[in-house]
Amino acid sequence: MQQGYINAEMSDFIIQHSTFINIQPNFDLEKLQFISGYFGPFKINQIVEVPLWVAIELKKKNKCRVIPPEWLSIEKLQQKLDEETINELELAKMEQYYFEISSILFSYCRDDIKDDDKIKLLLEDIKTRRESKIQKKIEEFILRGSDALKINNLNQHERNKIYSNFYGDLKKLRQLKLLSES
């Protein structure tokens, strides 16, 4: 496995276990115990923070309302889109797993996301702008024949996409460069 590359399954596991999210349960229960710790107490309509995977499992059973993270709002996403538009060269700093978390939330909790269609559109616009900038950086890298590619503020999804799409090609380019130098 290449350094820095995390496959989709591993990435999903890490995200769902390391990301905490607020929920509003519709049940009462003192605590839930898992290998990773205790969560709760759960009181009807009182906000509690749990790992994303717990939130998804409770949501599937209609036991809670998921409260989307603050960054998944029209205002915050519009700010990020504006940053991406204004700075044509650099990527804006984003939540590390924004793409994966938003995909998970749209899959299981869409009814809990206010203005979901507008938010989905903003996420797509951000992704498109970022992909365009990344593509330009890669093209510049190839044209320069550089030994290293540096792109600031990549998130895990973007890193994985670069590795899976370009790692083999970049390795071949490097070999060709070494052959031409010898």
Tens-digit pLDDT string for the chain (182 aa): 455 566 778 888 889 999 999 999 999 999 999 888 899 999 999 999 999 999 999 999 999 999 999 999 999 999 999 999 999 999 999 999 999 999 999 999 999 999 999 999 999 999 999 999 999 998 888 788 777 778 999 998 898 888 877 766 666 766 766 777 76
Q: What is the pLDDT of residue 1?
A: 44
Q: What are phi and psi of 3, to 5 degrees?
A: -65, 135
Q: What pTM was computed for the model?
A: 0.85
**Contact call for residues 28 and 48 (beta carbons, < 8 A):** no
DSSP per residue, the chain: --TT---HHHHHHHHHHH-EEEEEESS-BS-EEETTEEE--B-TT--EEEEHHHHHHHHHTT-EEEE--TTSSHHHHHHHHHHHHH-SSSPPP--TTHHHHHHHHHHH-GGGSTTHHHHHHHHHHHHHHHHHHHHHHHHHHHHHT-S----TT--HHHHHHHHHHHHHHHHHHHHHHHHHH-
Q: What is the pLDDT of residue 143?
A: 84
Q: What is the pLDDT of residue 4?
A: 54
Q: Which residues fall within 8 angstroms of residue 94, CB to CB, at 6 or more apart? A: 80, 126, 153, 155
